[in-house]
Amino acid sequence: MLQKRKMKKNCGKIIIYILALLLCIYVLAPYAWLIISSISTKADLLKKPLNWWPSHPSLQSYADILFGTSGGTTAVVNQFKYALRNSLIVSVIVTMIALAAGVLAAYAFARFRFRMKKSLFYSVIITQMIPPVALLIPMYVIYLKLGLVDSKAGLILIHLSLALPFVIWIMKGYLTNLPMDLEDAARVDGCSQMQAFLRIILPLSAPGLASTAIFIFIISWNEFFYAVNLTSSTAAKTVPVMITEFSSKAGYDFVMASTAGVIASLPPLLLSLIFQKFIISGLTAGAVKG
């Protein structure tokens, strides 16, 4: 009996390891091919049968896209650094505003009692269920009248509408799990409600804030649908939009597009790797209640 149990346990572990390996391959294989394509040449990518590793790997495409050189996609290559700047500005501002406003709203939902509290909370979450394509035309008309088309300010407003419900949802669950005794003790010591929030709640919420901030940054950085429809010049185009424009008379430049994809993936990837502990602890704590 003991041997059978051990065999079943070992078989279960083997199956779990195999499934985990297959899942890793499924997730990492596209990104690995993106990197391989970025160090290949057009000839390598068009060969039949396909070479899984380039015959002459080169980092020339990275030098081209970061510093600009000659070629059929020179205009787009020169514009890519401006797209990086635009994405960085929009994502950072969205993250800061969404955190500041969203945490206060989440704190109100988690701690205060007021009429229609649940209805208001669920209405905020339900807004995320509306298909973006259904909002595009009315949003474009409104933006056109307000002069926000093809502007970073317009993108920031759109991205805030995507990020704020996420912040409220995650942080409400996180703040609900924090004991109220800590705030009560601070109030007894003479702190006001806001002082207790700033001195007690915010420091304790650091893991949740960090994980939420990273996810907001990634959402804003990767947003494509509104960006491609509401921007048309280098003044506002973001990285996802610019990646679609690596084309020339000879056709789509897969090498440069792959290089741009690798560069665009680095900021979210590095943030996720650096703050992975905060992401795990923040999401597991914030997803318990809500």
Q: Model confidence over 217-258: pLDDT tens digits?
A: 999 999 999 999 999 888 889 999 988 887 654 567 788 888
Using DSSP's 3-state secondary structure scheme, residue 172 falls into: helix
Model pLDDT, residue 68: 66
End-to-end C-alpha distance for the chain, whole angstroms:
45
Q: Which residue has the tokens 């705030």?
A: 183
- Structural domains of the chain in order of their starting residue, each with its CATH number: 72-286 (1.10.3720.10)
CA distance 233 to 78: 13
pLDDT at 226: 92
* pLDDT at residue 66, as a whole number: 78
Within 13 A of 117's CA, how many CA atoms are on the CB side? Answer: 13
What is the model's pLDDT at position 284? 56
Q: How many CB atoms lie within 10 A of CB 167?
A: 27
The predicted pLDDT at position 251 comes to: 62
Question: What pLDDT score does 53 carry?
Answer: 83
Question: 288: helix, coil or strand?
Answer: coil
Residue 43 is predicted with a pLDDT of 79
Q: Evaluate the omega torsion of the peptide bond into residue 268 and state whether it is cis, within 30 degrees of 0.
A: no
* Residues of the chain falling short of pLDDT 50: 72, 249, 286-290
* Predicted local confidence at residue 242, as pLDDT: 87
Residue 182: which of 167, 201, 195, 166 has the closest Cα?
201
DSSP track, 80-101? HHHHHHHHHHHHHHHHHHHHHH
H or E segment to which residue 248 belongs: strand 247-248
Rounded to an integer, what distance in angstroms lies between the CA atom of residue 253 and that of residue 76? 11
User: Which residue is listed with tokens 């899942």?
Assistant: 23
Tell me, yes or no, if the pTM score tops 0.85.
Answer: no
Tell me the β-bridge partners of 248: 251
Residue type for position 1: M
Query: What span, in angstroms and rounded, lies between the C-alpha atoms of 232 and 143?
Result: 14
Amino acid (one-letter) located at 43:
A
Q: Is 138 exposed, middle or buried (0-12, 13-18, 19+ CB in 10 A)?
A: exposed
